[in-house]
Structure 1
Amino acid sequence: MTDSIPKGDAPPYSNDEWLKVESLDLEAQGVAHRADGMVVFIEGALPFEEVQFNQHRKKNNWAQGTVTAIRRESSQRVRPGCPHFGLHTGACGGCKMQHLDATAQVAVKQRALEDNLWHLGKVRPENMLRPLEGPAWHYRYRARLSVRHVVKKGTVLIGFHERKSRYLADMQVCPVLPAQVSDMLMPLRALIGSLDARETCPQIELACGDAPGTTTLGVIALVLRHLQPLSASDLQRLRDFAAAHAGVQWWLQPKGPETVRLLDEGGPALSYGLPEFGVTMPFKPTDFTQVNPHINRVLVGRALRLLDVRPDERVIDWFCGLGNFTLPLATRAREVLGIEGSDALVARATDNFQRNRPALPARGALAATRFVARDLFEMTPAMLVADGAADKWLVDPPREGAFALAKALAELNQQHGGRSDNWSPPARIVYVSCNPSTLARDAGLLVHEAGYRCSAAGVVNMFPHTAHVESIAVFDRA
Structure 2
Amino acid sequence: MAKKPRFFKPAKKSGQRQLPAKPIEAEILNFSHDLRGVARVEGKPVFIDNALPGERVRFRYTDRRTRFDEGRLVEVLEPADARCEPRCPHIDTCGGCSLQHLQPAVQITEKERILLDQLSRIGEVAVPEVLSPLTGNSFGYRRKARIGIRVQRQKKGGGAAKPGITFGFRAKRSNELVDIRECHVLDSAMAKQIPALRQLVASSEGRGHFTHLEVAVGDDAAALVLRHTRPLSDNDLQRWRQFAVDSGIHLYLQPGDIESTHRLWPESGDERLGYRLPEFDLELRFHPLDFVQVNFDINRQIVSRAVALLDPQPTERVLDLFCGLGNFTLPLARRAGQVVGVEGEGALTARAEENAAANGIGNVEFVTADLAEEIGDHRWAAQGFDKVLLDPPRAGAVEVLPQLVRLQPQRIVYVSCNPSTLARDAGELARLGYRLQKAGVMDMFPHTAHVESIAVFEPV
Give the Cα–Cα distance (whole angstroms) in 2 for the partners of residues 84 and 318 of structure 1: 38
Match of 1:56 in 2: 62
Q: State yes or no: 1:348 paired with 2:354.
A: no
Give me the CA root mean square deviation.
2.1
Percent identity, aligned pairs only, is: 43
Match of 2:130 in 1: 128
Contact 2:390 2:414 in 1 (8 A): yes
Give the Cα–Cα distance (whole angstroms) in 2 for the partners of residues 164 and 14 of structure 1: 22
State which of 403, 406, 409 in structure 2 corresponds to 1:408: 403
Give the Cα–Cα distance (whole angstroms) in 2 for the partners of residues 123 and 444 of structure 1: 6
Contact 2:24 2:60 in 1 (8 A): no
Match of 2:450 in 1: 468
Distance change (3 Å), C-alpha of 1:118 and 1:43: same
Give the Cα–Cα distance (whole angstroms) in 1 for the partners of residues 13 and 35 of structure 2: 21
Give the Cα–Cα distance (whole angstroms) in 2 for the partners of residues 143 and 437 of structure 1: 24
Q: What amino acid is aligned across from residue 332 of structure 2 in structure 1?
A: L
Matches within 5 A, 1:74-473: 74-86=80-92, 91-152=93-154, 154-211=163-220, 219-245=221-247, 247-264=248-265, 265-266=267-268, 269-357=272-360, 366=361, 368-379=363-374, 382=377, 386-409=381-404, 412=406, 424-447=407-430, 449-473=431-455
Unaligned runs of 5+ in 1: 212-218, 358-365, 413-423
Contact 1:251 1:263 in 2 (8 A): yes
Q: What amino acid is aligned across from residue 437 of structure 1 in structure 2?
A: S
Contact 2:135 2:298 in 1 (8 A): yes
Distance change (3 Å), C-alpha of 1:367 and 1:226: same
Offset of 1:16 from its aligned partner? 8.4
What do the CA deviations read for 1:185-207 (whole angstroms, capped 9, x no partner)?
Answer: 11111112222221111111011
Distance change (3 Å), C-alpha of 1:41 and 1:2: farther
Secondary structure in 2 matching 1:23: strand
* TM-score computed with the length of structure 1 as normaliser: 0.88
Offset of 1:320 from its aligned partner? 0.4
Contact 1:313 1:390 in 2 (8 A): yes
Contact 2:254 2:260 in 1 (8 A): yes
- More divergent stretch after superposition (154-163 vs 320-329): 154-163
Distance change (3 Å), C-alpha of 1:57 and 1:198: closer
Secondary structure in 2 matching 1:121: coil
Match of 1:11 in 2: 18
State which of 68, 72, 76 in structure 1 corresponds to 2:78: 72
Distance change (3 Å), C-alpha of 1:316 and 1:15: same
Secondary structure in 2 matching 1:80: coil
Give the Cα–Cα distance (whole angstroms) in 2 for the partners of residues 183 and 472 of structure 1: 34
Offset of 1:14 from its aligned partner? 6.4
Offset of 1:15 from its aligned partner? 7.2
Secondary structure in 2 matching 1:11: coil
What do the CA deviations read for 1:23-74 (whole angstroms, capped 9, x no partner)?
Answer: 212333111333x432222222101112333233333432222233433210
Distance change (3 Å), C-alpha of 1:252 and 1:69: closer
Contact 1:156 1:190 in 2 (8 A): no
Offset of 1:291 from its aligned partner? 0.7
Contact 1:14 1:53 in 2 (8 A): no
Give the Cα–Cα distance (whole angstroms) in 2 for the partners of residues 130 and 167 of structure 1: 37
Offset of 1:303 from its aligned partner? 0.6
Distance change (3 Å), C-alpha of 1:320 and 1:16: closer
Distance change (3 Å), C-alpha of 1:328 and 1:382: same
Give the Cα–Cα distance (whole angstroms) in 2 for the partners of residues 141 and 283 of structure 1: 13
Give the Cα–Cα distance (whole angstroms) in 2 for the partners of residues 126 and 202 of structure 1: 48
Offset of 1:17 from its aligned partner? 6.9
- More divergent stretch after superposition (198-207 vs 44-53): 44-53
- More divergent stretch after superposition (54-63 vs 169-178): 54-63
Distance change (3 Å), C-alpha of 1:136 and 1:384: farther
Give the Cα–Cα distance (whole angstroms) in 1 for the partners of residues 14 and 50 of structure 2: 24
Contact 1:9 1:59 in 2 (8 A): no
Secondary structure in 2 matching 1:352: helix
Secondary structure in 2 matching 1:475: strand
Offset of 1:295 from its aligned partner? 0.7
Give the Cα–Cα distance (whole angstroms) in 2 for the partners of residues 115 and 2 of structure 1: 36
Contact 1:201 1:226 in 2 (8 A): yes
Give the Cα–Cα distance (whole angstroms) in 2 for the partners of residues 7 and 130 of structure 1: 51
Contact 2:171 2:177 in 1 (8 A): yes
Distance change (3 Å), C-alpha of 1:394 and 1:166: closer
Give the Cα–Cα distance (whole angstroms) in 2 for the partners of residues 224 and 309 of structure 1: 42
Give the Cα–Cα distance (whole angstroms) in 1 for the partners of residues 381 and 99 of structure 2: 46
Give the Cα–Cα distance (whole angstroms) in 2 for the partners of residues 97 and 286 of structure 1: 27
Give the Cα–Cα distance (whole angstroms) in 2 for the partners of residues 17 and 180 of structure 1: 42
Distance change (3 Å), C-alpha of 1:350 and 1:296: same
Distance change (3 Å), C-alpha of 1:404 and 1:383: farther
Give the Cα–Cα distance (whole angstroms) in 2 for the partners of residues 404 and 203 of structure 1: 34
